[in-house]
Amino acid sequence: MSKKIKMKDGVYPNQEFEVYVDIDAVNFSSMKHIHTHSLFHYLNWKDKETKALDIGRQVHEFVFEHEKFLKGHAPFPGQNEIEKYFHLLREQDVEKINDALKNKKNLYFMEDGRGAIAKRIKKHFEKNGQEIVSTLDWYMFESIVRSLKENPITNKLIYDGNPQREMTVVWTDKDTGVQCKGRVDNYNNGWELDLKTSKDARPEKYKWDMKNYMYHVQRAFYGDGLRENGLEHKGGIIAAVEKTYPYYVQPYQFHRNSNVWNEAEMIYKKCLEKIADFNENGSSVVTGYVDPDETNKNREHIVVVNW
């Protein structure tokens, strides 16, 4: 485990993700578990690495840190380039590829990481500090960028003017004294934008995803952090982009002066209050799903079943 970094309140543009992770402050991804579960879960939560999370990180880097992405990644060699890597492969592997090319078949079968062909080619790129990305994933990344540029709202916020990307924001919550941090995907002209990949970005479906994943709370959390650092903040934008063809992007807007925003602020403030209580009083205030009340001062959180 890396050592935590103490950092002053402020705005840090283009900060490396690895540095952001090590800043000793409360972030939304962990704090939200107080609301969805409990303070106990927040203190003991460990995020699990998944394929979806990895793809999400790669999409963000491809869009917002493109030059860095190209240095650290490469697409799997296509039909016009695969011959350059024949010297890495066994004779039977070369025959298999030539047979596919002769019969005008695609080479996607090679990209399964469990196969001998893929392992040899991936190992070659890893020696040069690059991670191989499948042809289909690379096409998806390029298509997402194209969709973001074709949408007038996301194009203006991400590609026009002087947007600040992957910006670390550190601030101290004035009500609780808890230091917080956030990593803003894109900040432009007073609007904070967060890119989210989705299977289905239709409003009638996605509005429930936004509520379940607490995207509105994240917008309020980040928005207050920007204001605490003296930056203009008009509201938050979710750019929901679908991960399948035609990679449609649907922007969603959160205004500061709205019931949704007020609810979101109330949720994250209650979470910070519990963290502040723990910081002051220690494990004696740690609760699970049921908070103690006047009739349960010994903190034996038994639930009486009644229906």
3-state SS record for the chain: CCCCECCCCEEECCCCHHHHHHECCECHHHHHHHHHCCHHHHHHCCCCCCHHHHHHHHHHHHHHCHHHHHHHEEECCCCCCHHHHHHHCCHHHHHHHHHHHHCCCCCHHHHCCCCHHHHHHHHHHHHCCCEEECHHHHHHHHHHHHHHHHCHHHHHHHHCCCCEEEEEEEEECCCCCCEEEEEEEEEECCEEEEEEEECCCCHHHHHHHHHHCCHHHHHHHHHHHHHHCCCCCCEEEEEEEECCCCCCEEEEEEECCCHHHHHHHHHHHHHHHHHHHHHHHHHHHCCCCCCCCCCCCCCCCCCCCCC
Q: What integer pLDDT is reported at residue 301 of this predicted model?
A: 64
Q: What is the mean pLDDT of the chain?
A: 89
Q: Residue 187 half-sphere exposure, CB side, CA atoms within 13 Å?
A: 23
Query: Does domain 10-26+152-282 match CATH 3.90.320.10?
Result: yes
Contacts (Cβ under 8 Å, ≥6 apart) of 186: 64, 157, 158, 163, 164, 165, 192, 193, 194, 195
Q: What integer pLDDT is reported at residue 294 of this predicted model?
A: 46
pLDDT tens-digit map of 244-295: 999 999 999 999 999 999 999 999 999 999 999 999 998 877 877 776 654 4
pLDDT tens-digit map of 78-99: 777 888 888 888 888 888 888 8
Contacts (Cβ under 8 Å, ≥6 apart) of 251: 151, 153, 154, 237, 238, 239, 240
Q: Is the peptide bond before 152 cis (omega within 30 degrees of 0)?
A: no
Higher-confidence residue of 127 and 299: namely 127
Q: What integer pLDDT is reported at residue 179 of this predicted model?
A: 98
Q: What integer pLDDT is reported at residue 107 of this predicted model?
A: 67
Question: Which residues belong to CATH 3.90.320.10 in the chain?
Answer: 10-26+152-282
Higher-confidence residue of 135 and 262: namely 262
